[in-house]
Amino acid sequence: MNPQRLFQDFLAHTQPRPIPWDVYSELLEMATEKHAADPQLYIVEAENVLVVGDTHGDVFSSLSAARKEWDAIVFLGDYVDRGPYQLENLAFLLSLELSHPDRVFLVRGNHESPLMNKRYGFLEVVASRYGLRAYREFQKLFANMSYAALINNAYLAVHGGIARSLKSVEDITSLPKNDPEPVHQTAFEILWNDPDENIDYFEPNPWRGEGVYLYGRKAVEDFLSRNNLKSLIRAHQPYPGGFKEHFGGKTVTVFSCRFYPIERPAALMISGDKGYKPLPLE
C-alpha cells in the first residue's frame, strides 16, 4: 500500500470512494507504528502552520485544508463520529500524514476513544463495513496518538485545553502511550476541558460530566506566562464561522466540520511573527 498514491487518489476525485479492508488495514498498521514511536508533544517549526479543528467525518474540509498553502499542518483530533465520511476522512488524513511525516501532525481528540466511538457512531460504521473485529485496529491507532503540538515555541495546540495538573509544556512528554480511553487524568482533561470567561481558574464542567473542568483567564495567563507562550490553540467546540477568541486571544478555538450549524468551517493560519488568522474551508 502506497500512502502517497492513496493521498493523490483522494485529491483526484470529487467524491470519496470506499477503501478495501486490505488497503485500510495496511494503512492503519503503518500509521499505528508511526504514532507509537512519536513523542507525546510534537515540536512544529515552520513559517506558515495551518491548524485544523474537529472534522468529524468531514473529508471535504480536510481536503480543503490540505489544498491550501502551508509549510506544516496540525490537525486537532475528532476525525471520526457524527459525520457521513468518517472512514474516508480518517484514511485521507493518515495518507496525508504518512506522505509528509515531517510536515503533517495528527493530534488526538476526545472522540479517538472506544467510549465515544460506541456512543456517537464510529464503531457502528466500522462494523457495518469491515466487521466488528476490524475496530481493534482503529483502537490501537487512537490509543497511540499524541496529545499536543508546540508550534514555533509560541503556541500550544491541543484538542480541549489545559489541565489542572499541567504546569509545564514538558509535562505532556511524560503522558503514557497506548492508553485507549484514556484513564490518565491529565490526558483526559487535555482532551475534554473547555474555556470559560466567567471564572478565574478551574471549576467542574456541569455540561461535560465527571472529571471534566472549565478553565478561566487567570489559569490560562499563568500557564502561558510560566511557559513563555503567546496563546493556547484548541478545537472541541463549534462556534459561528468556525473561530472564536477567548480571554483576549490568549485562547483560540478553531472548528472545521461543516456538518454542524456553524455557517462555515475554518482553519487557523499561524504565520511567523504576524500571529494567526482564520481561513474559511470551502
- d(CA 28, CA 84) in angstroms, rounded, equals 20
Q: Is a pLDDT exceeding 80 seen at residue 56? A: yes
Whether residue 76 is predicted with pLDDT greater than 90 in this model: the reply is yes
Is 3.60.21.10 the CATH number for 3-280?
yes
Q: Tens of pLDDT along 174-190?
A: 999 999 999 999 999 99
**Binning pLDDT at 50, 70 and 90, where does residue 15 land?**
confident
Judged by average pLDDT, the poorest of 11-25, 205-219, 228-242 is 11-25
Could you tell me how far CA 33 lies from the centroid of its own chain?
A: 19
Predicted pLDDT of residue 205: 97
Active-site residue set: 111
Which residue would you say has higher pLDDT here, 222 or 15?
A: 222
Query: pLDDT > 90: what percent of the chain?
Result: 90
Q: What pLDDT score does 1 carry?
A: 67
Tell me the average pLDDT across 118-139.
98
pLDDT of residue 261: 87
- All three cell numbers of 68, joined, read 491550501
- Calculate ∠ Cα 186-87-33, nearest 5°: 55
Average pLDDT of span 135-144: 98
Mean pLDDT of 119-134: 98
Residue 154 has pLDDT above 80, yes or no: yes
Q: How far is 131 from 137, CA to CA, in rounded Å?
A: 11
What average pLDDT does the structure give for the chain?
A: 96
Is the model's pLDDT at 77 over the cut of 90?
yes
Decide if pLDDT at 212 tops 80: yes
Query: Domains of the chain: which residue ranges?
Result: 3-280
Q: What is the pLDDT of residue 14?
A: 77
pLDDT, residue 274, reads 87
Residue 52 cell numbers, joined: 485544523
Cα 236 to chain center, whole Å? 9
Distance CA(276)–CA(269), nearest Å, equals 5
Q: Is the pLDDT of residue 153 over 70?
A: yes
Average pLDDT over residues 99-128: 98
Q: Which long-range contacts (CB under 8 A, 24 or more apart) does 241-244 make?
A: 241/266, 241/278, 241/280, 242/53, 242/266, 242/267, 242/278, 242/280, 242/281, 243/268, 243/278
Chain centroid to CA 81: how far?
13
Instruction: Name the phi and psi angles at 11, rounded to 5.
Output: -65, -25
Report how far residue 83's alpha carbon sits from residue 80's, in angstroms, rounded to the nearest whole number: 7
